[in-house]
Chains A and B, each alone.
Chain A
Amino acid sequence: MLHPAVAAFEYHLITYRRTWRGTILTFFVIPAVFLVGMGWMVGGYVDGSSGNGLGASYLAYIAPGLLASTAVQVGIGEGTHAVYSGFHWARTYHMMRASPLTTTDILTGHLGYILVRVTISATGFVLVMGLLGTLGGPRGLLALPAAVLAGFSIAAFVFAYSATISEVALLDVIYRVLVVPLSLFSGVFFPVSRMPAVGQVLAAISPLWHGVELCRAATLGVPTAWGVPAHVGYLLLWTAAGFLVARRAFARRLTD
């Protein structure tokens, strides 16, 4: 047999094989419609006759931003109720821990599945971008790994949070405090340079902004704020730190 974490990974994959239809709407259709709606409708006003000052059509400007934002939302959304349920309702994690899987196997397996989910959603979005002509050539395909990295980088932290709380209502905090501000103030819809300094600092902390920078660089060929290695490194740092925090939270929750 392969590594035990692969067995845990397969568990989620098999479950997804039976439930994927229900996820298409949330993680593919809605973002795609959003892109078309914002890009064409809002873009019609933004672009105007004299240009928008963004260096590209509004559609082409927000497409890479929405790609990163979609990936991040999947990375967050799949780590909330699913993880909480694993400890409190379905107790999937307890079932796995009762078998010879380690906490690390269980966590790695589930995160591996999140990586798959983020990749599927991002790939679908990239296809739509291609159809709308907003990829800007083959280089634009690099936006896919960039978005996946951004989405994945935040997943483990959300896992840790969902593993720590004892009230399901506290999951809403993630959506209110994290998801909405993230997508509004991370340079998805307008450049962060137009925000006051405080906003710019918050954007710099947010992994989404780093993902947006990378995706935009891929599709529009524009330079990034910090340089590609710095953005990638920052996102990898989030990924690694999140893993450590989540592993601790999982171990605690499975022995409380």
Chain B
Amino acid sequence: MDQRAIEVAGLRMSYGRTEVLRGVDLALAAGEVVALLGPNGAGKTTTIEILEGFRAPSAGYVRVLGEEPIHADEVWRSRVGVVLQSWRDHARWRVRELLAHLGEFYRPYSLPERPRPWDTDSLLARVGLADKADRPILGLSGGERRRLDVAVGLVGRPELLFLDEPTAGFDPQARRDFHDLIRGLADEDVSILLTTHDLDEAEKLADRILVLVGGRIVADGSPDDLRRRVSATAEIRWARDGVTHVHATEDPADYLREVLNAPGGQITDLEVRRATLEDAYLSLVRRVESGAPGADDDPARDFLAPEPSLAPAGVGAGATEREPGRDPGRDPGRGQGRELGREREEAR
């Protein structure tokens, strides 16, 4: 059985003469949660739509659950859940009624180990809409509407779920509830690919973050990897005897020990600040968009895997050896996109 939910290499997409995707390589292991980040117009939605089978790519290798989405059959459709950027219809429908109806589409594809559709009421409870079940959809708030969208994506009990900007318009509570929902699904081994502009969200939810800029994946790694790659320095700020000090260092623990052991008065307001993911992301996007060295042939090279621990790793044993700290079962496909990219380059 294929361990990879998604496998993409050299994906290109042009609209007329505009090239939107310029050789995207990415992989998603079964059960993995991956966030696809990128500025507006980077090609995120196009990528997702190609993976969902709504768009035919101009070129490249695309496999989702082992099949080519644009030619995949209805059995494949039943295994994939899609949450596009908000459906706006069904105003006259009631919440439960719509879910129950759409669920019927999946009934012929029910399996003993994966009964389809998802029971309407338990799904409503799961997405936090149980008390809105009999409401007309017209009367839902933006956040409730979005949760219904997610429920629509889940009603067929997908193995792989696509979420295009799932939490746009959520209030903080709705966002937190949603994050719990996604983590719960991940625990049930649903593979998830989501796009978002919210870096906190990506950091909380994703095992791995992919950054798409200018039609290419320019970074691929855990939130920590991403942060470290852009800036290894931390900023230490403290006050002693009423005087504020600021120091930037690559080894905050060591420096902190020095500060604390140094003779002198009481230390107050101690703060260690690492580069945030947002800092990392913005700096990354800036570097790529300003045409950093090598950006023309492969901007990804600058950012991908500068450290040994991030070197491309194959499926299974290879990954475990190189990354002893990680659970191989959770991310066998790590680095797969890069590996495919490299092979392609060698082939040229």
Which of A's residues lie within 8 Å of B, judged by CB? 1, 4, 7, 10-11, 14-15, 18-19, 85, 89-92, 94-102, 254-256
Contacts and interface: CB of A to CB of B under 8 A. Distances in A.
A14 B156 contact: no
Contacts of A91: 84, 87-89
Interface stretch (B70-78, B225-233, B259-267, B323-331): B70-78
A141 B86 CA distance: 46
Interface stretch (B106-114, B216-224, B234-242): B106-114
A98 B89 contact: no
B77 A98 contact: yes
A15 B90 contact: yes
Contacts of B78: 99-100
Contacts of B80: 98
Nearest to A16: B92
A18 B92 contact: yes
Contacts of A100: 74-75, 77-78, 105-106, 108-109, 156
Contacts of A97: 53-54, 77
Interface string B87-117: 1111011000100011011111100000000
22 contacts: A1-B107, A4-B74, A4-B108, A7-B104, A11-B101, A15-B90, A18-B93, A90-B89, A91-B89, A94-B54, A95-B102, A97-B53, A97-B54, A98-B84, A99-B102, A99-B106, A100-B75, A100-B78, A100-B156, A254-B54, A255-B54, A255-B56
Contacts of B104: 1, 7, 10
Contacts of B109: 100
B88 A98 contact: no
Interface in B27-59: 52-56
A99 B90 contact: no
Contact of A85 (B52, B74, B89): B89
B82 interface: yes
A101 B156 CA distance: 12
B84 A94 contact: yes
Given A4-B74, A100-B74, A255-B55, 10 more contacts: A1-B104, A14-B97, A15-B93, A19-B92, A95-B102, A97-B77, A99-B78, A100-B109, A101-B105, A256-B56
B152 interface: yes
A105 to B, nearest CB: 9
Contacts of A256: 55-56
A89 B88 contact: yes
Contacts of A15: 90, 92-93
